[in-house]
Structure 1
Amino acid sequence: MLRTIVCDDELPALELATSLLKDTGAVEIVMSCQSIIDALEVINEGGIDLVVLDIEMPELGGVDASKHMRVDPKPLLVFATAHAEYAVDAFGVDAIDYLMKPLDPERVGKAVEKAVRLNSLIASTEMGNDKADSPQPERSGMLKVKDAGHVYFIPYEDVYSIEAAGDYSLIHTPSREYALRRTLRALEKQLPDDLFVRVHRSTIISARHVREVRLLAKGEALVTLTNGVAVKVSRSYRDAVHRLTGEA
């Protein structure tokens, strides 16, 4: 069960979010409140796995609130918003997902499923490890990942994509997923830009595993990887499309 805090300054929205989260059967609601200040006090005491937070709050906006979380690692974040444009801000702080209001039960369920999966991987990564992974790989052309007391070296060519998960990055490979205790932003600086391309605030993909690039409206694109996964390229990263297609 994910120990969860829900925060929304509007009572009807708070009650709905709390109810839908409980209905998933995968979370334990530790706190359901209308004050982000109260929520931060509990979060910073530690022991919280997931925070579902309205991105627009009168005391302190959701994105700014994340900067006041002092626990290490921070809980997984899911933002709720009535305005699609705020989703960009949500992924800017490595939120694992965002939910559009009015909340949809199926969509809430999917966000919780993702949080459960990531929390399990992170727990495995933390087992037997006292500190974050080294910012540099120990072998050229490989990512070093600690997992339950083991150290794995993942060749770059085995990486399909890398997904943001708060203080972690989730690495997708043919055999399994790994959680690396490093933010996507920090990891991007380490990876060679001729092999990896950031196509979204929350996603880096391997250029060698791109099977198809389909151009969409408004400067967006849909990239299909060799594992069959489709990744949307936001218009903020249109230069990434040019790199992948070799077109100016």
Structure 2
Amino acid sequence: MIDKPLTAVIVDDEPLAIEGLRLRLEKIPELNVIGEASDGDQAIKLCHELSPDVLFLDLQLPGLNGIEVVQALQADIIPMIVFVSAYGEFALDAFELNAIDYVLKPANLGRLKKTVARILERRSPENSDKEQAKEKYKLLKALGESSGVAISELEDWLGSDEPLPTTYCQELVIKNSDNEKVFLPVTDIRWIDAAGDYMCVHTDKETHIVRITMKKLEQQLDERVFKRIHKSTLVNVTCIKSIRSLRNRESILALGDDVQLKVSRNFSSAIQALVKSKQV
């Protein structure tokens, strides 16, 4: 017997998404939807006015996004957070904000029932610490498998303000014009091209010459960030502004500031798919 259903507010900027989620949640007797919002400011207002037990929160919202909504809510009124998103890459951010669940769109009724069951279990004081510890280990295990970093190291990282640890090189050691060794953050690199056994490493401001082979350098860099577009060229995918196809199955990448790089036929399809996946 249900003494008092959980109260919930749904936040999404797409009316059809709100309707679909509400219709499914209405089939779960342990939960009662008491409000809906289409942006972050409305979500915060409803939390103040209605004090819901649960907030089903989309991550991509006009104005404040889902992460910023949670950060803006005061600790004494913040409900339990269930992020609802079409993208899985924000799960780590959600975990850091102690979200109780992360549901991928479109969420079916069975998945939402598991979410509500988890919320009810979390509300039980004797189960709270055990559940959080289990969820923490599952996330660290998945993160460790994808990054190659030991779970113990990731656990230490959670309690710090340091960037996410990685097995990849974070800085290149290079010699400047005065023959001094300096450290170049890999995040500053826009693209790299080869000149024999030397690599020309291009940043916004200058080009550095590094004595290393392309193969060895590629092994040191995160393959999710630095992609091969030619046998002698690597590009930082976060710097790509656009791609233009050519008739011979080659293409041209634009990095901005009049920088254009040719993508060979062997790599063109993969790069076009990558650029397409970045578009919202």
- How does the TM-score come out when normalised to structure 1? 0.53
Structure index of larger Rg: 2
Q: 1:46 to 1:11 in 2, by over 3 A?
A: closer
Correspondent of 1:39 among 40, 43, 68: 43
- The amino acid across from 2:128 in the alignment is L
1:16 maps to what in 2? 20
**For the residues of structure 2 that align with 1:243 and 1:57, how far apart are their CA atoms?**
30
Q: Between the two structures, name the one with larger relative contact order (CA 8 Å, sep ≥ 6).
A: 1
Q: CA deviation at 1:241?
A: 6.0
- The amino acid across from 1:240 in the alignment is I
8 Å Cα contact 1:221-1:233 kept in structure 2: yes
1:209-224 map, 5 Å: none
- Amino-acid identity (%): 25
The reply to whether residue 239 of structure 1 matches residue 243 of structure 2 is no
For structure 2, the residue ranges without an aligned partner over 5 or more in a row are 156-166, 168-280
Q: Which structure shows the higher helix fraction?
A: 2
- The amino acid across from 1:2 in the alignment is L
**For the residues of structure 2 that align with 1:94 and 1:84, how far apart are their CA atoms?**
16
The reply to whether residue 93 of structure 1 matches residue 51 of structure 2 is no
Q: CA deviation at 1:236?
A: 5.2
Correspondent of 2:123 among 112, 119, 126: 119
For residues 10-56 of structure 1, the C-alpha deviation after alignment (integer angstroms, 9 at most, x for no partner) is 11111111111111111111102212211211212463210000011
Q: 1:70 to 1:170 in 2, by over 3 A?
A: same
8 Å Cα contact 1:55-1:61 kept in structure 2: yes
The reply to whether residue 171 of structure 1 matches residue 129 of structure 2 is yes
8 Å Cα contact 1:6-1:32 kept in structure 2: yes
8 Å Cα contact 2:47-2:77 kept in structure 1: no
Q: 1:243 to 1:41 in 2, by over 3 A?
A: closer
The reply to whether residue 61 of structure 1 matches residue 65 of structure 2 is yes
Q: How many residues align?
A: 151
1:27 maps to what in 2? 31
1:78 maps to what in 2? 82
8 Å Cα contact 2:59-2:66 kept in structure 1: yes
Correspondent of 2:136 among 188, 200, 203: 203
For residues 45-96 of structure 1, the C-alpha deviation after alignment (integer angstroms, 9 at most, x for no partner) is 4632100000111121101110111141521000011111122221121101
**For the residues of structure 1 that align with 2:101 and 2:20, how far apart are their CA atoms?**
18
1:110 maps to what in 2? 114
Q: 1:204 to 1:8 in 2, by over 3 A?
A: same
8 Å Cα contact 2:9-2:54 kept in structure 1: yes
8 Å Cα contact 1:31-1:39 kept in structure 2: no
Give the 3-state SS of the residue equivalent to 2:72 in structure 1: coil
Q: CA deviation at 1:243?
A: 9.4
For structure 1, the residue ranges without an aligned partner over 5 or more in a row are 122-146, 148-168, 178-183, 185-197, 206-219, 223-231
1:2 maps to what in 2? 6
Q: 1:243 to 1:24 in 2, by over 3 A?
A: closer
